[in-house]
Structure 1
Amino acid sequence: MTIESEIVGKWNFVSSDNFDAYLKEAGVGMMTRTVATKLKPTLEFKIEDGEWSMTSISTFKTHVTKWKLNQSFDDKTADGRDVSEVFTIEQNKLVQNETGKNGGKDSVITRYIEDGKLKIVCDCNGVVATRVYEKAE
């Protein structure tokens, strides 16, 4: 199975490890980090005519990111950072390269399916967080 066929659909939050440290390294302020680390968002992935979308739904806010593979675009992250992004597929993983703007820091966010779960590995300057989701019924 390909990441494209496996990732499409809704995913429920299961667990998070080291997320606050990652957000802090990425330059996210304490108040936003405090809220973000308490949220248990649902993620929904869609692919239509080559355009991907990822919707993060939580009690705090809904954030939508849309992209085409291998095409750079400007975005504002859910935590308010201005970045330039490009999504690629490498070794059956969806890789999001964020380049910080206005002095912001760069991050790499890798998403892949392992044992039926969506694993999200966030890396900013070697500070790594892992988040796990399971497919919604």
Structure 2
Amino acid sequence: MGEKFVGKWNLESSENFDDFLKEIGVSYLTRKAGACIKPVLEFEVNGNKWKMTSTSTFITISWEFELGQEKEVKTADGRVVKTTFTFVDGKLIENQKKTKAEEKDSYYERYVDADGKLMITMDCDGVKAKRVYIKA
């Protein structure tokens, strides 16, 4: 099911990422640091069980999850969210739900396009961003 995702991916480009981070409540300093790093994403898939690891010079964060199961996780910027991953039409869909009243929900789609690039689109209250990764 998720075989196309398996392996390591290097960040190639970002569009509107700072505005998206601002919308979800990431602090100015953390946003500026995030703009400078080029994380490597790694996916491992075993049936419905997935592991997604993001590695950069500043932080490594790893999430293990089972499709369709809501799980509380800590994001790279320190927020705690309830997230659910599903796999629909070749896309890994992530819904993050806020755990504090002042926070916001967000939505992510991850898919491998026809050129073999990993595309990640994200949305929070209409503020959209896109990140493109190439296979390492």
What is the TM-score of this pair, normalised by structure 2? 0.95
For residues 51 and 93 of structure 1, the distance between their equivalents in structure 2, rounded to whole angstroms, comes to: 15
CA shift digits 1:66-85 (9 cap, x unpaired): 10000001011111111000
For residues 22 and 133 of structure 1, the distance between their equivalents in structure 2, rounded to whole angstroms, comes to: 18
The equivalent residue for 2:99 is: 101
Q: 2:36 pairs with 35, 38, 41, which one?
A: 38
For residues 121 and 6 of structure 1, the distance between their equivalents in structure 2, rounded to whole angstroms, comes to: 17
For residues 49 and 90 of structure 2, the distance between their equivalents in structure 1, rounded to whole angstroms, comes to: 18
The equivalent residue for 2:132 is: 132
RMSD over aligned CA atoms reads 1.0
For residues 121 and 35 of structure 1, the distance between their equivalents in structure 2, rounded to whole angstroms, comes to: 20
For residues 92 and 49 of structure 1, the distance between their equivalents in structure 2, rounded to whole angstroms, comes to: 14
CA shift digits 1:24-62 (9 cap, x unpaired): 000111111111111100000001363211100000110
CA shift digits 1:82-134 (9 cap, x unpaired): 10000001221000000011121100010001111000001101100100000
Percentage identity across aligned positions? 48
For residues 50 and 32 of structure 1, the distance between their equivalents in structure 2, rounded to whole angstroms, comes to: 32
For residues 49 and 96 of structure 1, the distance between their equivalents in structure 2, rounded to whole angstroms, comes to: 17
Q: How many residues matched?
A: 134
Letter in structure 2 aligned against 1:119: M
Structure-to-structure mapping, 1:51-70, within 5 angstroms: 51-70=49-68
The equivalent residue for 1:121 is: 121
For residues 31 and 57 of structure 1, the distance between their equivalents in structure 2, rounded to whole angstroms, comes to: 19
For residues 6 and 28 of structure 2, the distance between their equivalents in structure 1, rounded to whole angstroms, comes to: 32
Unpaired runs of at least 5, structure 2: none
SS in 2 for 1:130: strand
Q: 1:73 and 2:87 equivalent?
A: no
The equivalent residue for 2:81 is: 83
Unpaired runs of at least 5, structure 1: none
For residues 116 and 47 of structure 2, the distance between their equivalents in structure 1, rounded to whole angstroms, comes to: 25
What is the TM-score of this pair, normalised by structure 1? 0.94
